[in-house]
Chains A and B, each alone.
Chain A
Amino acid sequence: MSPVNLPWSVLADYRCFGCSPHNPGGLQLVFEPHPDGVCTRFRLGRHFESYPGIVHGGLVAAICDETMGNLIVLRHRQSALTVSMRQRYITPLAVGRSYLCVARLGGDRDGQRLYRASAEVLDDDGTVCATATASYQPFALADMRGRLALSEPELAALSRALAGERGGP
């Protein structure tokens, strides 16, 4: 299946810890379409270890957040920040083993302006090892101009990409 084209890819040197291919210390996650949303397959080495042989739980949360967050951005065509997240750990993830994280959009709740999503991490047998839910606050890139380290051409290019248009700065 073809990887999902993320809007951030129009930035030549974006360094997102979760999904940038330009960050050697990051997770370099690649997302694919999934019947329920998007998914990413990952296998973490010892540099992401907690107890010996066990993946650090913070990384599991980061992967769930990254998968849900990108799903929100892709579906709503708007940048968004995580405002709350709840992680349930069922079984520890093993270093060196392959897992799949699947994210789904959550149901909208009346009177709420936040986007919601859920995620689950499955092992190769399809057994669920962790679940997560999170809420995301949408924001306009222009309103965050003072916080984002982006040039005006990069900001314009990213705005176009978020809107579904492609093309670099």
Chain B
Amino acid sequence: MTAPRAGDDIIATVTGIAAAELGLPAASLRPDTDLRAIEGMDSVKVLRMIARIEQAYDVELDDEVVFGLSSIAGTADAVRQALAEQP
């Protein structure tokens, strides 16, 4: 998997991955969309989405963060923070 380049719109990338995991058009998801409230979404799909995001950005998100995530914007924030904490 090709890592997104620095400066990429993390929200757009996270939205794309979430949409692909759910089989929805990316345009149907907004940054404040409650991921767990989407019809068809379940904890496995959330975890699979997180795994794809971790691979895409080569980061490891803390489980405490992952299991508290509820929105695309929140997920993008977690990625941004993980990237900032990388050595």
Contacts and interface: CB of A to CB of B under 8 A. Distances in A.
A59 to B, nearest CB: 19
Contacts of A104: 1
A107 B58 contact: yes
Interface residues of A, number: 18
Interface string B44-67: 100110111011001010000000
Given A107-B3, A109-B86, A109-B87, A90 B58 contact: no
Q: Is the interface of B mostly helix, strand, loop or mixed?
A: helix
Contact of B55 (A91, A112, A131): A131
Interface in A4-36: 36
Interface in A75-129: 86, 88, 90-91, 104, 106-107, 109-112, 118, 120, 127-128
B86 A88 contact: no
A133 interface: yes
A118 B86 CA distance: 16
A88 B54 contact: yes
Nearest to A133: B60
B78 to A, nearest CB: 14
Contact of B58 (A106, A110, A128): A106
A103 to B, nearest CB: 12
Given A104-B1, A120-B51, 15 more contacts: A36-B1, A86-B60, A88-B47, A88-B50, A90-B47, A109-B86, A109-B87, A111-B87, A112-B87, A118-B55, A120-B55, A128-B52, A131-B54, A133-B54, A133-B60
